Every structure is written in structure tokens, then in C-alpha cells.
Chains A and B, each alone.
Chain A
Amino acid sequence: MNKKTKYFGSIQYMRFSIGSTVLILILVIAGLSVARAENDLDELLDFNYEEEAESQDVVVADPLEAVNRGIFIFNDKAYIWVIDPVASTYKDVVAEDIRGCISSFFYNLEEPIRIFNAALQGRMSDSARILSRFVLNSILGVYGFADVATTEFNIPPVKATLGETFARWGVGDGCYLVIPFMGSSTVRDFTGDVIDSFGTSPYWYWTDYKFANDWPAMMSLYSTRQINRVSFRLGEYEDIKELTLDPYIAFRNVYYQKRAESDSN
């Protein structure tokens, strides 16, 4: 018996071979799970489309459909007869750069609410990021007319609303609502929006904290913001209406889909 066969029969060899087999198995399993994790990265590659679409039809209840449809029609007319003509004229008169500045300005005014909401949701790093955006844009961006935080410091906008905070705290959606002039929402989100915009809004600074005394100022602020917002998206609404059979369901479904995605995140 030569040295070589002695080695192959020995305990050391058995230890080595068992050890290496186990090692290789671990590597293979690790490799496979990495490959699987990579596939999981894309939630859209989950192809149970039939079931998924089915489940999304009932994400939020809509017991007030009759009322909601009424408000939807009202919004439709308001858009066609008032908002669209005003926004179109506004778009023609005010240059795109300036409209961009105005939009940044309003966005910056609302940042303190976001700092607060992100913190209430336990997203401390987001909260800090919004705070630094607010400071940078207010000072270097001249009262927020320029979004220098994004362009110069690479800190993009972060969203945080009271509706999300409520959701984080376990408050249910309530039901689907269509809000006059605003569109799709739910009881929870709408409550959050109202508190966000009236309760904690920094717009108060201009109106001496007295809504009743200075409602024209408040109203013109809100409508300027809204018209400015619409001026970037003119024509989109008409397109959607033309290409859908039931625009009410179409808009409601867009809201549900977005909702389902933010819930799963």
C-alpha cells in the first residue's frame, strides 16, 4: 500500500472531503438564494396578474359612489369651464421658468409639515433630510424660489403627509372620497390633508394666524398654487377622459393602484 492510498483511506481525508462537500453545498445554496433575491427585486415580475388585479379592485371601499360620482362630474365641469381656461391663460402669460420657481416656492413653504410628519412616522433620516432641504432652499434658494438642495446639493424631495402618518399608526382608510376641486382621496388621507394644509400650514404666517379675517389672502394663495400646478399638466386630463370608458372608475383605479403600491412598501 503506497502513501497515496493510505491518505485517501485516512480520517484526515474523510474530514477534508466532508468539510469541502459541506462548504461547496453552502456556496451553492448561497448562490441560489442570491439569484432568487435578485429576482424578488422587481415586484412586477410577480406574474399572478389575474389574482393581483382581482384583489386590487377592492382595496378601498366606495359606499358613497353615487355622491362621489356627483362630485366627479362637478370637478369635470369645473375643470373644463374654469380651471383649464384660467390655467391655459396663466401658462401663456407666465414663462415656464417662473412657474417652476413658483412651484418650488410653495413646495418649500410646506417643508416644515413634512419634517414633522416624517418624524412622526419614525423616518428620522428623512426628516433630517427635509430639514436640510428647507434650510438650504430658504437661504441659498432665496425663500425657496430655487430648489438648490436638489440641483446643487443632490438632496431630492422627500414626501411625507399626515395621511401616511395616520396609516403608520394603523388608522384605516375609511372609504373612497372625491373632493371638490381636488379629486381622489380617502377619509383618512383627506382628514390628513386638511390638517396638513390648514392646521399646520405655514401659509398662516401671511395672514396673521386669523383665517376668518383674511380669507381672500388664503384663498388666493391656494388657488395660485393649484392653478400653477395644473399649468404643467394641461391636456392630460382630456386625454385620459377620451381613452377611458368610465373615467370615474379609471381615476379611482389609478388611486387604488398607487395606494396598493405605497402600502406594500
Chain B
Amino acid sequence: MRILYFFMGLLIFCTVGAPDVIAQKKQYPEPKEQLLPFVDRVLEVLVDKELQGAEKKIERRQKIMDLAQERFDFVEFSRLVLPDDQWKALSGGERDHFVSLFKKLLEFAYINKLEGYGDQKVVFVKQRFNKTRAVVHTKLIDEKSEEQVIYLMILRDNGWMIFDIVLQGTKDEKKVSILKNYRAQFKEIIANEQYSGLLKQLEERVADLEKKS
């Protein structure tokens, strides 16, 4: 009889308890615990009194880009933004080159998104995650408005890393993924002008943005 109970217990443990125990073994904090402090630090840089004004713009952006390096998985972002066969066709060096260009464009996009707000804060809404990927819903709030910002994250050696940002204005607006949007553009450009045409356009745009900032 004890054996029967033992097996029943084992069965229950395996189906209900085990995934939790295994998950705890990894010792990674929850996605939101890695994401929220990151966004907070970015927002702090934006309102930092010592970094205000147009002449400090470059310094301010550099700080944010350094921060972004810690929490964004730019390689995953880049892999998913290119058509699958195109990414596979690239050599290691070519991949690095693409990642570094696309990374700059993304940083400008992300900073731009955040700088549109005044004195803002980030509020956690909800999160869902499995063993490798996570979705964290947040709200960016200032006194006038609020906007839903959803982060998609992937678990890497150094914790949960962002690989897509999904924007949703107010709650009843529809969601728009930044990754999918760039993906559609890149696909079209590659179809018309080959990969080299895409690289050229990316280089020119990044140079433009850097000149302006």
C-alpha cells in the first residue's frame, strides 16, 4: 500500500511540483525583476539634471546605449528581423556588421520613444513566462497620458534579455511589434535591392541619425 501511495505522490510531484523545483534551480530572477530596474535606470538618465539640455544630448544617449547593451539581445533581435534564409546565408563577420548597424537604429528608436515623454515612470502590469521566453506588460505613465509597452524577453546566460518591443497606445488600441515592422520593411528591400541594398540603406540612415543627434 505504501508503494501505491509513493507512486501516487511521485505522479503528483512530477506533474505539478517538478517544473517549479527545476525552475528554481536555475537561480534566475523573474523577468520583471530584471526588466523594471533597467527601464527605471534609463528613465533616470533622461531626467537626470546633470544631463539636461541639447549640448548634453550625446552624453545622455551614450549612457542609455550602454544601459541597453546590458538588457537587449541585439543578436536575437537581428536574427529574427531578417528572413530566415538570409540570416543563415551570412558569414559570422557579416552577421556582426548587420547586428551593429541594426542595433544603432534600434537604440535611436527606443530612445526616441522614451524621450517623447516628460517626467515619466514605468509601472508593471503583468508577466508570463516559460522556461526560455517571457512577455512583460508595462505602462509608461506621465501626468497627461499612459501607454502600454510590452517587452518580449529570452533567457540567456546573463539573464532575461529583450528581443522585441510591442507598442500599444491606449488599452483598446491594437498592438504593433517593432520587430515585425522592421522585418516587413527589410524583407521588401531585400526582395527589390538584394541584401547589399539593405545594408547601404541602413548605413546611410544610421549616419543621418548620428549626424542629427
Contact = CB atoms under 8 A, between A and B. Distances in A.
B179 A32 contact: no
A223 interface: no
Interface string A52-77: 11001100000000000000000000
A32 to B, nearest CB: 6
Contacts of B209: 242-243
Interface of A: 8, 17, 21, 24, 28, 31-32, 38-39, 41-42, 44-45, 47, 49-50, 52-53, 56-57, 156-157, 159, 235-236, 239, 242-246, 249-250, 252-254, 256-258, 261-262
A24 B8 contact: yes
Given A245-B186, A249-B185, A49 B174 contact: no
A262 B174 contact: yes
Contacts of B181: 244, 250, 253-254, 257
A31 B185 contact: no
Given A45-B128, A50-B84, A250-B181, A243 B15 contact: no
Nearest to B177: A257
Given A249-B188, A258-B176, A243 B112 contact: yes
A243 B109 contact: yes
Interface residues of B, number: 46
B166 A21 contact: no
16 contacts: A31-B15, A38-B128, A42-B135, A45-B130, A50-B80, A53-B180, A53-B183, A56-B180, A157-B172, A242-B112, A243-B112, A243-B209, A244-B181, A245-B189, A250-B185, A258-B175
Given A239-B112, A258-B174, A53 B205 contact: no
B135 A45 contact: yes
B15 A41 contact: no
B133 interface: yes
B71 to A, nearest CB: 18
A82 B201 CA distance: 29
Contacts, number: 101
Nearest to B106: A243
B3 interface: no
Contacts of B116: 235-236, 239
A218 B189 CA distance: 42
B180 to A, nearest CB: 5
Nearest to A96: B144
- Interface centre among A8, A242, A245, by most chain B C-beta atoms within 10 angstroms, is A245
Contacts of A28: 11-12, 15-16
Contact of A261 (B105, B175, B185): B175
B202 A245 contact: yes
Given A50-B84, A53-B183, A239-B112, A254 B12 contact: no
Interface in B98-137: 105, 108-109, 112, 116, 128-130, 133-135
B68 interface: no
Given A31-B16, A253-B181, A245 B205 contact: yes
A32 B11 CA distance: 13
Contacts of A262: 174
Contacts of B84: 50
B179 A49 contact: yes
Contacts of B128: 38-39, 41-42, 45
A32 B16 CA distance: 7
B54 interface: no
B84 to A, nearest CB: 6
A60 B84 CA distance: 22
B22 interface: no
B4 A17 contact: yes
The 8 closest A-B pairs by CB, nearest first: A258-B174, A253-B184, A42-B128, A249-B185, A44-B135, A243-B109, A246-B185, A261-B174
A174 B150 CA distance: 31
A246 B180 contact: no
A62 B198 CA distance: 22
Nearest to A252: B184
B187 interface: yes
Nearest to A38: B128
B152 interface: yes
